[in-house]
Structure 1
Amino acid sequence: MRLGASPIQKFTVAIRMLAYGCSADQVDEYLKLGESTARECLGQFVEGVIAQFATEYLRKPTLEHIQRLLREGKDRGFPCMTPGSCNDINVLQCSPVFDDIINNRAPQVLFIVNGNNYNKGYYLIDGIYPKWSTFIDAIAAPHTLKDKLFTERQESARKDVERAFGVLQAQFAMIRKPALAWSVELMWKIMMTCIIIRNMIVEDERDIYLNFKDPLEFAQE
């Protein structure tokens, strides 16, 4: 009887392709699996991760999470800033985040700026986006100390999302390199799988991160 590839081989193929961005035909010599088998292993792996862990690790933030993130934004000079940022004009056309804003499902927050009352959070953007009330743009040519301080803080906070995706790309070379003829559906599953695994890593290691704040500290205040 001829034995097939072991589960450890198949699992290693998928992780290796995600981590190193190697093509399916590059794992043959190391793991003794053909190109078609390697592709199949990757497809089944990402489907399994999404089916098993997406509910927990891709869930929308709870009210408690939102309040904690809003407080962190306030500490950085942006009270009631909606967690996240919009750093790609293409996101504006397809992100479900903005569907929530349009359909009035976005988290409700209350704050006052210059005597005006607002009940929705806002996103930090650069100058290529439309002038929506929920977008806060940087000052293009700041001259006063006040404008310069605002622009510095705005750009610093906005870059956090880009840095987060930079960490994701550093950990999973597959999403950093050009797509190797994957279907759009499989590319989406690969991206979701990388985010899920990254969230798992953060959950496991965050207590050793520099400047880590235990969420329970906010509940005690």
Structure 2
Amino acid sequence: MQKHVFLRIVGDLSSSDNYFTQRIDAANKEGISPLAKCTTTMRMLAYGVAADAVDEYIKIGSSTTLECLLRFCKGIIRLYEEVYLRAPTQDDLQRILHVSEMRGFPGMIGSIDCMHWEWKNCPKAWEGQFTRGDKGTTTVILEAVASHDLWIWHAFFGCPGTLNDINVLDRSPVLMMWNRERLRG
């Protein structure tokens, strides 16, 4: 993540939620900084580590780390849902379709990509359906649809690794919606 994006997120969270401000704690010492709280959360999300795994690096207890994670996620949704976490509007679709047509791909709303992500802690009972044959490891599939400007319009995480990418594409909610709309007229 670029530094200016991270600092914008920290600033937005600090101005909208008192939890992300630095205050004096019960022992009359400075509390945890907003940078430390957001860094902790971002490390957990980026590396998929447990709350107590960031304790040695940032010196925050696991209960505080979990509170940071919860408030961070709720804050991101509250702050950015209307702009970044929304379905495409009719204007968005028209703009995307126009750019795609100009580039020689009429009717294309985005590129879809699927990736298999290793699931180290997959429950034993589920391993059979999530084992990827060519790798011999348990995986889940992340599928995403992005437009030419890298705006992600759809993301789905969780298909069993035994499904090949063609099966995932056939079940994609965005593609099903798009096909329904095209069939209607």
TM-score bucket (shorter structure): 0.3 to 0.5
**TM-score, reference length from structure 2:** 0.45
The structure whose RCO (Cα within 8 Å, separation 6+) is larger is 1
